[in-house]
Chain A
Amino acid sequence: MKPLVRVTKPTIAILEAIANHDQPIWGLALSKQVGLATGTVYPILERLTELGWVVSQWDTDQTVKGPRRKFYSMTSEAREAALALVKANVNVPSRSTRRIGAQQHA
């Protein structure tokens, strides 16, 4: 898992939403939950997947009719780091979060 260099507010919101979900969360449902457009959510998810914070997998449920859906989840290691990042974000002004993010995972 690689550290996040730039931690924006939408990134924090997405990390928080995935970390607080016990089950993998569907991309579209995640977009709805955090109240951000898919055009914002998916590029962040791509970046988080690339850095190893988030794992994506296609739906394997055969009972659901319609096209496959893509689900996102976190490893326990990433969940811990994400929750720490969310907590730090609550306690400090938003501009400082990117430095905190970088320090925490250095």
Chain B
Amino acid sequence: MLKPIIRLASRAYPKGAARSEFLESTASDLHYATELDIDERAIERGAIKQALSYGWRHPRIGVVLTIAGMLFSVWLCTKWVAYPEPYAVANGVWLALTWSIAVLCSRVPGSRLTKPAILAFLLLVVAFVIKTSEWHSYGIVDYATKHAGPPILVNVHSDYGSFVMLFVALSSTAYVWACVLLLLDRAVVRGILALAFAAAQVYWFYSSTQLMFFWELQDQWARRLPLGASAWVIFFAVSAWQGIRAKRGAAQPQR
């Protein structure tokens, strides 16, 4: 009898032959596991991993994951952090882009950037959570509500600010890791672009976490956003192009 969790995991497969085959194959492996001296739990874990692996690669799941991740990013930066709004929206967009790149990387055939990209996203989330904690601890939200004026943002030299920058730096390090992987594969252009992300991210967050006023920050968007965004867009385009090329090559019949 298959455990409910395996039945649940089987839903990653489309209803019909594929799902039935997965369930039958798992039931068969569980039946013969003792014969080969294999732990039944290992088979169950394997079946769940197999289903997740299939589901993760499924295009529909990819779309759902991308949208869910982007909504989460925007929610985290605008609703949970709450203030100051335009700054939070910009951070939300940045975070959403980071997530999109993680999902898209996993769709590019032969891409080894999925893990670094997901790591970069998670570390950035941690940075935002710390940043929010600081805002609340300093009563910035209250200050802004009462005075209706521009609040002081996170001071990079404060304890919290240091942690924020630490995680932003770690997040950027994940892109440096991606860069090394790409250079090892002799994908020089993409490698340099990955390094450009790392630099753009550090630049964006370092400049935005310094002691400055809201109107000053707003003034600098014009300089920061295009720099970061264009690096992301170029990276996406080159990765997609490489992916399409690889796919076309794969579609050709073997000699």
- A residues near B, CB below 8 A? 1-3, 5-6, 27-29, 31-32, 37-43, 46, 51, 66-70, 77, 81, 95, 98-99, 102, 105-106
Q: Kindly report which residue of chain B lies nearest to residue A59, judged by CB atoms.
A: B28
Asked whether, in the complex, the Cβ of A28 is within 8 Å of the Cβ of B48, the reply is no
Could you say which residues of chain A place their CB within 8 Å of the CB of B250?
Answer: 2-3, 5, 51
Asked whether, in the complex, the Cβ of B25 is within 8 Å of the Cβ of A95, the reply is no
Q: Is B84 engaged at the interface, CB distance under 8 Å to the other chain?
A: no
Asked whether, in the complex, the Cβ of A95 is within 8 Å of the Cβ of B246, the reply is no
Asked whether, in the complex, the Cβ of A38 is within 8 Å of the Cβ of B29, the reply is yes
A68 to B25, CA, bound (A): 8
- B residues near A, CB below 8 A? 24-25, 27-29, 31-33, 36, 38, 42-43, 45-50, 53-54, 109-110, 112, 184-186, 246, 249-252, 254
Could you say which residues of chain A place their CB within 8 Å of the CB of B29?
Answer: 27-28, 38
Partner of A38, one of B24, B27, B50, B185: B50
A2 to B248, CA, bound (A): 10
A96 to chain B, nearest CB (A): 9
Q: Kindly report which residue of chain B lies nearest to residue A41, judged by CB atoms.
A: B46
Partner of A28, one of B38, B53, B112, B184: B38
Partner of A2, one of B28, B32, B45, B251: B251
Q: Known contacts being A5-B246, A42-B46, A102-B249, is A28 close to B110, with CB within 8 Å?
A: no
Q: Known contacts being A28-B29, A67-B27, A106-B249, is A43 close to B54, with CB within 8 Å?
A: yes
Asked whether, in the complex, the Cβ of A68 is within 8 Å of the Cβ of B28, the reply is yes
A8 to B48, CA, bound (A): 21
B78 to chain A, nearest CB (A): 37
- 19 sample A-B contacts, Cβ–Cβ < 8 Å, listed by A number: A6-B109, A27-B29, A31-B46, A37-B45, A39-B47, A39-B50, A40-B46, A41-B46, A42-B25, A42-B50, A43-B49, A43-B54, A66-B31, A67-B24, A67-B27, A67-B31, A69-B28, A69-B32, A102-B246
A2 to B42, CA, bound (A): 31
Could you say which residues of chain B place their CB within 8 Å of the CB of A31?
Answer: 38, 46
10 A-B pairs with least C-beta separation: A39-B49, A38-B46, A39-B46, A5-B110, A43-B53, A67-B28, A5-B109, A42-B50, A6-B110, A2-B250
A40 to B49, CA, bound (A): 8
B68 to chain A, nearest CB (A): 23
A106 to B252, CA, bound (A): 8
Could you say which residues of chain A place their CB within 8 Å of the CB of B249?
Answer: 3, 5, 102, 106
Could you say which residues of chain B place their CB within 8 Å of the CB of A99?
Answer: 185-186
Could you say which residues of chain B place their CB within 8 Å of the CB of A70?
Answer: 25, 28
A5 to B50, CA, bound (A): 20
